[in-house]
Structure 1
Amino acid sequence: MIWHLIAAAFAGLGAAGVGLLLRFISGNRLPRWVVPVFAGLGMLAYQIHYEYSWFDAKREQLPESATVVSTQQEQMLWRPWTYLFPMTTAFDVVDQDSLVRSRIGGESLVEFILYRFEKGYQDRVTHQAYLINCAAREKLPISEENRQPDLSGLQSIDESTSLFQAICPDA
């Protein structure tokens, strides 16, 4: 967080320098308020760039075996530009190397961990183990305490979703 604040301050100083240079080149015909306006615009531009590049930066940090299966984009009142270009604030990832495939009763079962990355004041990563029955297209969460499927969390999963295609490509 401190590095983000320092980078925003330097972006503001750099943009203020551009405003000062423009004022000097114009022979001081530009008003004095141009310098702080450029500083504010520079900090705002840095903040917008940082927020929109968060998803790509996090995705680059993932291992080659990680597959992004869903993204969540939001629009926010205090960021009016997100109504034109929604900002990615969360995404889900499956690590292909950690899939555990098995066959029980002729049906293909895959155990996997779904990681959720959320952007915020401090980025948050949560994970949940699941079991997918590829033939029945059902997903069950696995409880962390006893490693047993939680039948109350049974969900149907559509075969067109990227999660299902990443876990059960042969189904």
Structure 2
Amino acid sequence: MFFEMIAVIVAGFAGAGLALILAKASGGRLPRWLIPVAAGAAMIAMAIFNEYDWYPRTVAGLPEGVEVVVTAEESALWRPWTLVAPFTSRFIAVDTQSLRALPGAGEGAAPLRVIDIFAFARWQPTRALRVAVDCAGGRRADIGPEVAITDQGLTGATFRPMGADDPVVAATCAL
């Protein structure tokens, strides 16, 4: 966030400098108000560029084995350009290298898969979470401090029905 603010300020100086050069080159025929308008326009353009560039830049920085499974696009009336082209403001990625199989909870139960997922959101810290996925039942459970992983499976986990089409369940079960 700090570097993006610096980039916006630098863009403002660059826009003002370009307008000043154009005003001098035209022999003073351009109005003086053009300099602050150019600075403001450059700052707005840089802020818009940073919004649209956040997702591809963040995905490019992910380590090998971390795959994006869900993206969420956003648009708002107070940002009219997003009504034409929404930008990705958050996404969920799974760490395929963290996948491991566990026995099912109970006699004859289907095996479970445990995987790490990461929730990324613009202007927010990344959240890491370990989840257990029941591929046969299309269920998922968050693994927190109250959940114990044993040789028999999980104890204390609360599974939520998600369906086989849930992106995290589908990505985990496809591995």
The TM-score normalised by the length of structure 1 is 0.86
Which residue of the partner structure matches residue 107 of structure 1?
110
Q: How far apart in 1 are the matches of 2:173 and 2:143? A: 18
Which residue of the partner structure matches residue 27 of structure 2?
27
Q: Which runs of 5+ in 1 are unaligned?
A: none
What's the secondary structure of 1:70's corresponding residue? strand
Q: CA deviation at 1:141?
A: 2.1
Q: Which amino acid aligns with 1:62?
A: L
Partner of residue 168 from structure 1, selected from 157, 170, 173: 173
Are the aligned partners of 1:93 and 1:116 in contact in 2 as well (CA < 8 Å)?
yes
Deviations 1:78-103 (A, max 9, x none): 22211111121111010000011245
Which residue of the partner structure matches residue 125 of structure 1?
126
What's the secondary structure of 2:126's corresponding residue? strand
Which residue of the partner structure matches residue 4 of structure 1?
4
The TM-score normalised by the length of structure 2 is 0.84
Q: CA deviation at 1:143?
A: 2.8
Are the aligned partners of 1:109 and 1:132 in contact in 2 as well (CA < 8 Å)?
yes
> Where do 1:18-97 residues align within 5 Å?
18-97=18-97
Q: Which amino acid aligns with 2:161?
A: Q
Q: Which amino acid aligns with 2:171?
A: A
C-alpha RMSD of matched pairs (Å): 2.0
Q: CA deviation at 1:127?
A: 2.3
Partner of residue 158 from structure 1, selected from 164, 168, 174: 164
Are the aligned partners of 2:135 and 2:164 in contact in 1 as well (CA < 8 Å)?
no
Which residue of the partner structure matches residue 137 of structure 2?
136
Q: Which amino acid aligns with 1:124?
A: P
How many pairs does the alignment contain? 166
Are the aligned partners of 1:141 and 1:154 in contact in 2 as well (CA < 8 Å)?
no
Are the aligned partners of 1:143 and 1:149 in contact in 2 as well (CA < 8 Å)?
no
Are the aligned partners of 1:131 and 1:149 in contact in 2 as well (CA < 8 Å)?
no
Q: CA deviation at 1:26?
A: 2.2
